[in-house]
Structure 1
Amino acid sequence: MINKPKPDEYAAFYGNYISLVWEGPVLNILEDLASTTYKFFSEFTDEQANYAYAEGKWTIKEVLGHMIDAERTFAYRILAFSRGQEELPGFDENAYVENATFNSRTIQDMAAEFKATRIANLYMLRALTPGQLNITGIANGSKVSVLAIVYILAGHELHHLKIIKERYLI
């Protein structure tokens, strides 16, 4: 079993994400989330998924699109650091959403893309050695371990699912 990362392995703002990840094998959690998150989003109609709870807030489709972008970004960080790269830039999540076409796509297509992206990433994650999990790099100006990014993947997803349930489904 892979233990949760220690607080010195990630910037403090990631602590909120990591704290959302329950105890258990994190790769199993990520695998379970691939299915449950897919099911959750695929049950929306496109009309429901085009909803934003307030002016200037993302639609449900845009939240899912952001989750897909973040999944890819975190996975790239894992790949890059585990292969020896030492530093990567951050990403502007608002610019990514603004420059995407999420609202023109179907929610079912996006849900399937999220699941496929996660499944592909799980192959990479399962191949990481304990030594690779302990490697650290600099992302967005902050030190972070590969292990912490694995937990951030899960916690980021849980964070956004919670927001949707609390703010969009009332």
Structure 2
Amino acid sequence: MNKLPAPTPEEYAAFYTDYIQRAIARKDVLAALPAQLDELRLTLGSLTDSQARTRISADDWSIKEVVSHLIDTERVFSYRLLRISRKDKTPLPGFEQEEYVRESGADDLPLGELLAEFEYLRQANMLAIKNTKAANFSEVGRASGNPVSARALVYMLVGHVDHHMASLKEKYLPLL
């Protein structure tokens, strides 16, 4: 499969519109998947662990916690993608991102390990996407009480990372 057409608004909850639009802006969502690995490593790879504990405010996540959130969401979205693309119609629950970040212990982990974990997940997801039958990207299931297509989930993987990368570049990195 060379291209994956963008999903229609009926294929995802309105909450995900920003993610979908960010992925569409990339022009080629499949090429964006590996490109984001380089972008993430280039943007964060030279930070020290101390720098990666930087927060915008006491109530915001640290840079390490943002990366941990990227890992968690990559896992959740890819699991949804697997189930839905395999025509599993079982409704899938949401997840409490704040609790996941709080329980991750990310600030006590080396940034390099967090980045490596994300990279391994993304590489596995790229192979899974490559090996999914093209027709199965049109499958629609339910997650967090809303309809979502397998195709939309691929776009959400890319858009979610772009959303947080923009925040890191605009809000976090200027503080260093």
Q: How many residues are treated as equivalent by the alignment?
A: 170
Is this contact kept in 2: 1:10–1:144, CA < 8 A? yes
Q: Which residue identity is paired with 2:83?
A: A
CA distance in 1, matches of 2:62, 2:119: 19
Q: Does 1:58 align with 2:61?
A: yes
Q: 1:89 corresponds to which residue?
A: 93
Q: 1:146 corresponds to which residue?
A: 150
Q: Deviations over 1:78-116 (max 9, x none)?
A: 001112222100000001011111111111111111111
Structure 2 residue matching 1:20: 3-state secondary structure: helix
Q: CA RMSD in A?
A: 1.0
Decide whether aligned partners of structure 1 residues 99 and 23 sit closer, same or farther in structure 2, where only a CA change above 3 A counts: closer
Q: Does 1:108 align with 2:127?
A: no
CA distance in 2, matches of 1:26, 1:129: 17
Structure 1 residue matching 2:50: 3-state secondary structure: helix
Q: 2:40 corresponds to which residue?
A: 37
CA distance in 2, matches of 1:69, 1:110: 11
| Structure 2 unmatched runs, 5+ | none
Q: Does 1:17 align with 2:19?
A: yes
Bigger mean CA offset, 11-20 vs 78-87: 78-87
Is this contact kept in 2: 1:77–1:88, CA < 8 A? yes
The percent of aligned pairs where both chains have the same amino acid is 36
Q: Deviations over 1:18-76 (max 9, x none)?
A: 11122433111101112221232212111110011111110000000000000010000
| Structure 1 unmatched runs, 5+ | none
CA distance in 1, matches of 2:157, 2:67: 14
Q: Which residue identity is paired with 1:53?
A: I
CA distance in 1, matches of 2:162, 2:101: 19
Structure 2 residue matching 1:88: 3-state secondary structure: coil
2:162 to 141, 158, 161: 158
Structure 2 residue matching 1:19: 3-state secondary structure: helix
Decide whether aligned partners of structure 1 residues 23 and 100 sit closer, same or farther in structure 2, where only a CA change above 3 A counts: closer
Decide whether aligned partners of structure 1 residues 133 and 59 sit closer, same or farther in structure 2, where only a CA change above 3 A counts: same
Decide whether aligned partners of structure 1 residues 167 and 23 sit closer, same or farther in structure 2, where only a CA change above 3 A counts: closer
CA distance in 1, matches of 2:126, 2:146: 24
Q: Which residue identity is paired with 2:141?
A: G
Give the TM-score, by structure 2 length. 0.93
